[in-house]
Structure 1
């Protein structure tokens, strides 16, 4: 457990700074382009490279590449160095080709991710042009992802978590420049010029380029030689394909679900401006914040060790990693989920209600975030359970479970789209997400328990119960702060949102920490102490 905490603390400190700068980046994005047509066009274009990367690389990275790199390091005479160089070369060449094809196919891709956008509309034209400027980042993002995976297998966790900070700083500077250049016209698709769109799109890509450079430099300092190797026969692509075919299938399924989400939300945004893709995107980013700071950090540290234990047939060590990881992550996820459900608008109004984004727009983003709060724990546990299968090189089971989860998600989304008024559709999509992942987590738990002969359900359940009871007084305090602020200031606004956030969020979290210490929830004290210590040493 101490190794998980130390590795998790290194990454969580970096991720915390990354997420803070990400907050500023999202605030600047809302200020510069708003949540209506311009915001939807940008977010539709921005979603495409991540969708392509999910299909081609990111799922394979966690489920196939990390275990294969670990295997090469254990078995190859050179410690896997030649294999890592071949892998980097293959990924770079593949993604350069993909990026070129994607730029040429930008109109088709925008049409695929949206609904009811006429090809001759300003919204469609702006989205296509932005996509052509943003899609070249595919190659750099992929190289950075592989570099990060190699660093993780060498227990070098800091750079992959700190590199996004550089990306955020670059994009913040670009967005600030865009806002100054466009003035109040930055949120109007009819007034923004091609030169201004080039600044916005190419600046977004420049952030990914900077992130990749940081990772490659860190990899070289770790002893990796960036020598191209074209002897792909020794790259074990056949083995990777056999392991990765199921992961690609999972990526296809999840991307179909994501495309359905963007299509339904874009259609809702056409019917109710300001209630489309952009509120969904901004709320989802905030929903992912607690998981990204703690969950990803711990899970990333767990996977290489779980893979080694599984390769040695040590089921007891796999169980130990899981039983220590879930409470460690949940110590933060449990109180954060309740605070998101209560303080959604109080969080989003101070962040987004500036420039081109009105208070009402920010409140709606907060309403969507409140619904997403329901999904935080099911989603987190689902992700940890998938790593159990990946550590055994089993990519088939996650596809089947993920496919079922996505199918349920799609059915619920379509149903709620036709049942709810347009202004509530995106909130309905968030509710469908929560239900689908709750069911998926139950199914994944059942299968993983049989795979490793028990997951320690009683001990984990006991820890989670104590965490939920400990978070209850803080949730009540947060709810009271919202009620009092509304009584004092009336309609939702910056002042009452800030008071609710400081009192309900800040004091509510402190209350949780105090109660958790009293009832001896050791994970809370451990993770806070180590992350704080690491953060102080990093400053």
Structure 2
């Protein structure tokens, strides 16, 4: 194909790319809305179902397809597809981009359909694999298997949603994919409140809410793809060069980018062997640690992958390194105080959000223990999100695979060492320790490859962070109250007291940062 044909078939030149800080802010704001509604969703679930056998069964049935969604759709697939799509945008015509989109959608859809049918038919076997502890409780096991048949098609629907979102992100349309998860939370809240009271087995309403949410999220994004002229017309073509490149990158990326998710799933498997409530305690604490991870870590990772891919394609190693450095500093700016706050306010946060209805004082204490353990690894979870794209943007999948295998093996060793003395808290702590190992190895790999080059000002930035976080810890300790006081408050009183602590902490932290010389312009990066 000649260059003249390519020009005539190309879309108009894209608008100037927005700055990474602005794009991260858009994604973060939308994700914040989703995460807040997610906490509301979990509060509703806790109020209606507590932390008993029904809740444990649902969380397993939801976690299996949700884990595979993060592993395949938002993990390996997105990290493999976005660099390939960016390459096609830079080097091929618009018609070739459409051919790629059509071939990937058809090929991906066929695989997902087969996996979904197999999982629905083999739901009891899957439940036995992922929650072997349920085998000793036939009623819980049967309930989890039944709900898995309802929730597993969510994987098909949400994976196609992630495919659509990856296209939109590649064209710097970040807001729509970031808003889409809101629909999941609304659907599940509606199912718990309105559907569960009329069902013979109330918890089944949550499973149907997951299924409905998958369809809503997929159809919500299609009009925006149509506006780009990239609404897929699925065509199965595994011989398409772009499909083959995506598949080659996907296989090793399963380990490289999704190790933390695998580790969390292993926590669920082992927690099912512990006392009833362990799965739910881990779930509630994980949900709280996911708030800063999702709002900031995922937001920054989402916007830097297309940017890094374009810089690599343009052979701009200095800009590539500067973008990675910006991402790491941005993560530290938010991740360090978030981890500190979760550790210091574990019981108050759990009590404020979940101590209603069926959730007992003991549930609060148990969930707070695993929340502190997760908070120890929060910064590592966030750093993994921005370091892994440094490899995938360069289409290097071998190094993350090796690192992922090492981290997974380490996680299992930590699990076995810590589960007996610390029970479910040990599982959470093992996940955090393996995340730190993963982070260090990713950073070392980038540094060795020359992709990571420290930019000036790290010593000063470290001192500013130390001052601000010291002030944050002081104000939290000063305003916090004994656990017994939090548990004795009404829901409204807890919410007000927590709002005071959070607002004061945020204000003190950022005021000290400003006094120490940190400015918004220092984090503007186009």
TM normalised by structure 2 equals 0.90
> What RMSD, in angstroms, separates the aligned Cα atoms of the two structures?
2.5
Q: Where does the alignment leave 5 or more consecutive residues of structure 1 unmatched?
A: 183-192, 531-539
Could you tell me which of 141, 145, 151 is aligned with 1:124? 141
Could you tell me which of 424, 428, 443 is aligned with 1:445? 443
Distance 2:151 2:509 in 1: 42
Could you tell me which of 515, 519, 525 is aligned with 1:522? 519
Tell me by how many angstroms 1:366 deviates: 2.3
Change beyond 3 A, Cα 1:181–1:478: farther
Distance 1:500 1:350 in 2: 9
Could you tell me which of 12, 26, 31 is aligned with 2:28? 12
Tell me by how many angstroms 1:388 deviates: 0.7
Summarize the alignment of residues 275-286 of structure 1 with structure 2, pairs less than 5 Å apart: 276-286=278-288
State the match for 1:473 in structure 2.
Answer: 471
2:167 is equivalent to residue 143 of structure 1 = no
Query: Does structure 2 retain, via aligned residues, the 8 Å contact 1:326–1:384?
Result: yes
Tell me by how many angstroms 1:206 deviates: 0.5
Distance 2:195 2:48 in 1: 7
Tell me by how many angstroms 1:302 deviates: 0.6
Query: Does structure 1 retain, via aligned residues, the 8 Å contact 2:237–2:243?
Result: no
Change beyond 3 A, Cα 1:231–1:108: closer
Could you tell me which of 55, 59, 67 is aligned with 1:43? 59
2:226 is equivalent to residue 209 of structure 1 = no
State the match for 2:6 in structure 1.
Answer: none
Distance 1:253 1:325 in 2: 20
State the match for 2:365 in structure 1.
Answer: 363
Query: Does structure 1 retain, via aligned residues, the 8 Å contact 2:263–2:431?
Result: no
Tell me by how many angstroms 1:523 deviates: 4.6
State the match for 2:124 in structure 1.
Answer: 107
2:98 is equivalent to residue 81 of structure 1 = yes
Deviates more, 1:240-249 or 1:352-361: 240-249
Distance 1:445 1:250 in 2: 13
Could you tell me which of 388, 391, 402 is aligned with 1:389? 391
State the match for 1:94 in structure 2.
Answer: 111
Query: Does structure 2 retain, via aligned residues, the 8 Å contact 1:359–1:493?
Result: no
Summarize the alignment of residues 174-323 of structure 1 with structure 2, pairs less than 5 Å apart: 174-181=191-198, 193-194=200-201, 196-234=202-240, 236-250=242-256, 257-269=263-275, 273-274=276-277, 276-323=278-325
2:179 is equivalent to residue 158 of structure 1 = no
State the match for 1:63 in structure 2.
Answer: 79
Query: Does structure 1 retain, via aligned residues, the 8 Å contact 2:320–2:451?
Result: no
Q: Secondary structure at the match of 2:315?
A: coil
Tell me by how many angstroms 1:53 deviates: 3.3
Tell me by how many angstroms 1:231 deviates: 4.1
Deviates more, 1:228-237 or 1:289-298: 228-237
Tell me by how many angstroms 1:228 deviates: 2.6
Distance 2:486 2:204 in 1: 42
Query: Does structure 2 retain, via aligned residues, the 8 Å contact 1:513–1:524?
Result: no
Query: Does structure 2 retain, via aligned residues, the 8 Å contact 1:88–1:143?
Result: yes
TM normalised by structure 1 equals 0.88
Deviations 1:102-128 (A, max 9, x none): 101100111011133227611101101
Distance 2:132 2:442 in 1: 33
State the match for 2:14 in structure 1.
Answer: none
Q: Secondary structure at the match of 1:456?
A: coil
Query: Does structure 2 retain, via aligned residues, the 8 Å contact 1:328–1:523?
Result: no
Deviations 1:27-53 (A, max 9, x none): 111112111211110111111112333
Change beyond 3 A, Cα 1:474–1:248: closer
Distance 2:384 2:235 in 1: 37
